[in-house]
Amino acid sequence: MKPSLLDAKSWYPLLDGNRWQYRVYQQFADSTSIWYYASEVVGDSTMENQLSYRVLRRQKLTGEFLADIYLRCDTILNTIYEYQDTLSCPNSEIVIADFSSDPNEGFWQDCLGFDWQSSYYYNELDTPVVIMGVTNDLYGRIYTYQHELGMILYQEDEVGINYEEKLIAAEIDGSQWGEFYTGINEIRQVPGDFGLTAIYPNPSNAAVSIQYRTPSDKIRVRVLIFDLSGRQVYRSATISSSGNHEGVFIWDGLNSAGKPLPSGVYVATLETITSRNSKIGSPHKFTLIK
């Protein structure tokens, strides 16, 4: 059966509890890192565009949280969308997989006007595999999907950035594929000029000052705050870093809905706003006492 005749949900099974583990290779300027993270479907979320998406909660083996991924499967158009809130595509979505046309023939455009194309083949187990993406002189973004397994490879190339996620294990509808890596060792060379530098006062019974540092005066960031269960309770609006590469964000102790959070221990981190490979700084714990 041709991949175009298989529905999008069967390509990316986004049921609650399904999880994937990826090995990541990332090269950013003169920094190289190799690490692992797990991604699990944890429910639904309605985003600012008023559409509902499946939430993929991502966490490194060291316990550090990565930015959630929001995916939407359109069974009528037979496509998969990813929610975007970047400088180039604010509060929008892009098609990351289109199974409505015959592979090797169809193409579509993203919010940047780039043409995406697709092709397919069958692996050694006679399972359909589809490669979809866009490549040009400045930008490359390629997804590879295996039927009934989901994304098995993601690659992104931009000026100064090389990034790859390769699937090593998954648990889909109770069945396991591959072997999960359980170690926490990572090969990392991360510049020391990015992330949170201080949170004060700590503990606090009112507003919290979150001091951060960025490597570029043109970068856009936001502050993320989680509770100890890993649930994201707050995400700031976009912050443009100052010319001296340092800044302070004042958080009032309210969640994203504007409601006061209870006393407890929370985790704050800094996220760059670029694309899927957004960089997350080291987490910092702090305590609210009310």
| Higher pLDDT pick, 185 / 125 | 125
Q: Which residues contact 113 (CB under 8 A, 6 or more apart)?
A: none
Confidence tier at 273 by pLDDT (50, 70, 90): low
End-to-end CA distance of the chain: 61
| Mean pLDDT estimate for the chain | 79
CATH topology of domain 195-288: Immunoglobulin-like (2.60.40)
Query: Which residues are paired to 84 by β-bridges?
Result: 92
Query: Residue 217: what pLDDT?
Result: 53
Task: Centre a 10 Å sphere on the Cβ of residue 124 and count the other Cβ atoms it contains.
Answer: 5
Task: Centre a 10 Å sphere on the Cβ of residue 143 and count the other Cβ atoms it contains.
Answer: 23
Count Cα neighbours of 276 within 13 Å in the Cβ-side half-sphere. 25
Pairing of strands 175-178, 161-172: antiparallel
* DSSP symbols for 1-35: --GGGS-HHHHS---TT-EEEEEEEEEETTEEEEE
109: which 2 tokens? Answer: 């455009």
| Higher pLDDT pick, 160 / 222 | 222
Query: Residue 252: what pLDDT?
Result: 92
Cβ contact 46:54 at 8 Å? no
Query: Residue 16: what pLDDT?
Result: 96
Lowest mean pLDDT, pick from 83-92, 150-159, 187-196, 207-216: 187-196
Lowest mean pLDDT, pick from 33-37, 143-147, 239-243: 239-243
pLDDT at 277 over 60: no
pTM of the complete model: 0.61
Query: Residue 240: what pLDDT?
Result: 72
**Rounded to whole angstroms, what are the CA distances from 169 to 22, 95, 165?**
7, 25, 12
Pairing of strands 92-98, 107-109: unpaired
Closest CA relative to residue 34, chosen from 195, 189, 215, 193: 189
Domain boundaries, the chain: 3-188, 195-288
pLDDT at 28 over 70: no
